[in-house]
Amino acid sequence: MTGFSTCGAVTKASRSVATEQLRQTIMGLCAFPTRHTLSGARGVDAAADWLARRFQSFGGNLRVEKDTWLEPKGQRVDKPTNISNVYAKITGSRHPNHWVVISGHYDSRVTDVMDATSIAPGANDDASGVAVTLEAARVLAKSKPEIGIIFAALTGEEQGLLGAKHLAENLAAKGETVVAMATYDIVGNSMGADGRKRTNYIRIFSGGDTPGETTVSATRRRTTGLDADSPSRTLARSLADVAKRYIRGFHTEIVYRQDRFGRGGDHSPFHAAGVAAVRFTEPNEDWTHQHQDLRVDAGIDYGDKPEYVDFDYLTKVASLAAAWVADVSHAPLPPTGVTLVTDLAPVTTLKWRPNPDAIGYEVLVRLSTKAEWEKTIPIGKQSTVEAKLPFSKDDYVFGVRAVGKNGARSIAVIAGR
């Protein structure tokens, strides 16, 4: 059969992204002297209120929520402190308890992680990720997705991923399901520490382990060689595929690593809870503009200032963000019961359960050694729940995804895991 069409909501969202909106969010956040998590009323708390008002100004179907809790004394929190995440949410029309989460962290820091008073613009780390999150919210504000969306401006990342842990725990405690989570952190600078500018891709980091997997599934994973197909890595591949389908001249590089060396991010508490969660970060970081006291030293201008953000690059990053959030949230839930028949045959047979929201399915195929899907094979109708494929199951990995009547694609599910 011929392929399924693309999704109008995805195209519209990605094309509506506006550079000026991204600039306004970053300049607005950088106007606070610091957004250090412990900076109180004139710093981080004022920034939270500003973010809530900005989310509110986008109107549409967004419900804005400021989520405040008392964070106890901890390694990087010197005394119990009230801190806040700021969310805009759209509840899913078909699946009110399923969510897609996109985040950036609005707290900032300088060289000393406990310094709550020095000027800390945090333009790239991570006003850039917050700007991407807000822009995705703005362009999708009027949409009515099947799966809900949480646009999250998180706090306390630099003090130990506090806001992300809080959100992940709260969603789990309420029994809500997170279909996909991605954090945008350090996504706006295209000029690397090596002096090379890279403007046509972004990295996606994903953990290769599968926290919480059962002994049975761990054994199956080892014996079938699906070690490179954890839920988070499968999400990374699905998002890389969105870039190929919708964003011209911009791609992703999947990194087989949960994060950069010695660094952490807000996707990690979600990944640790068994949620498919990834991190987006620019190709080539420049550490003179991260976590630095503002100063000039030996001719080097240190500090995370807005003049080091490449807004044209950030616009491409935000276009991809709007595209994948639209695609996954407008799609049916991922297929269930995806199995691979382990017969001694030169063809591969896959089976899955019918998905009432799908008009059909796509089988994704790649050699076991390839990072990204190589082939997309459209499969019949909603009631077609089996595919025979002319590829050796010994050499290839297979995924199945559901296609909605609007052309949106679900996250893929790996066959045989």
SS3 314: helix
Distance CA 8, CA 12 (A): 6
Tell me which DSSP letter residue 127 carries: I
Give the orientation angle of helix 128-140 with respect to helix 44-57, to 10 degrees.
Answer: 20
Closer to Zn ion at the Cβ: 237 or 279?
279
The least CB distance from residue 290 to Zn ion, in Å, is 8
Residues in contact with Zn ion, shown as a per-residue x/- string from 161 to 200 under the rule CB under 5 A: ------------------------x---------------
Closer to Zn ion at the Cβ: 109 or 417?
109
Distance CA 221, CA 320 (A): 31
Using CA atoms in the order 170, 173, 177, 179, what is the torsion angle rounded to 10 degrees? 40
Closer to Zn ion at the Cβ: 39 or 224?
39
Closer to Zn ion at the Cβ: 94 or 263?
263
Nearest to 333 by CA among 237, 401, 398: 401
Nearest to 157 by CA among 203, 202, 113, 112: 113
229 counts as binding Zn ion under rule CB under 5 A: no
Distance CA 280, CA 289 (A): 18
Strand partners, 414: 399
Closer to Zn ion at the Cβ: 109 or 393?
109
Both tokens assigned to 39: 């900076």
Closer to Zn ion at the Cβ: 183 or 190?
183
Tell me which DSSP letter residue 288 carries: G
The least CB distance from residue 121 to Zn ion, in Å, is 13
Both tokens assigned to 125: 């780390």
The least CB distance from residue 125 to Zn ion, in Å, is 4
Closer to Zn ion at the Cβ: 71 or 327?
71
The least CB distance from residue 188 to Zn ion, in Å, is 11
Closer to Zn ion at the Cβ: 126 or 135?
126
The least CB distance from residue 6 to Zn ion, in Å, is 33
Residues in contact with Zn ion, shown as a per-residue x/- string from 106 to 125 under the rule CB under 5 A: -------------------x
The answer to whether 296 and 308 have CB atoms below 8 angstroms apart is: no
The least CB distance from residue 289 to Zn ion, in Å, is 12
The least CB distance from residue 195 to Zn ion, in Å, is 23
Q: Tokens 């190709």 sit at which residue?
A: 283
DSSP 128-167: HHHHHHHHHHHHHTT---SEEEEEEEE--STTTSHHHHHH
Distance CA 308, CA 294 (A): 13
Both tokens assigned to 321: 């963000």
Number of shown-chain residues binding Zn ion (CB under 5 A): 3
Closer to Zn ion at the Cβ: 125 or 282?
125
Strands 81-90 and 147-154: antiparallel
Residues in contact with Zn ion, shown as a per-residue x/- string from 73 to 112 under the rule CB under 5 A: ----------------------------------------
The least CB distance from residue 157 to Zn ion, in Å, is 5
Closer to Zn ion at the Cβ: 185 or 229?
185
Touching Zn ion, residues 339-358 (CB under 5 A): none
The answer to whether 38 and 331 have CB atoms below 8 angstroms apart is: no
The least CB distance from residue 183 to Zn ion, in Å, is 9
Tell me which DSSP letter residue 289 carries: G
The least CB distance from residue 158 to Zn ion, in Å, is 7
Closer to Zn ion at the Cβ: 258 or 410?
258
Distance CA 165, CA 268 (A): 9
Distance CA 367, CA 373 (A): 8
* Alpha-carbon torsion (365, 367, 368, 369), positive or negative: negative
126 counts as binding Zn ion under rule CB under 5 A: yes
The least CB distance from residue 363 to Zn ion, in Å, is 37
Distance CA 377, CA 357 (A): 19
Length of the chain as a residue count: 417
Contact positions toward Zn ion, by CB under 5 A? 125-126, 185
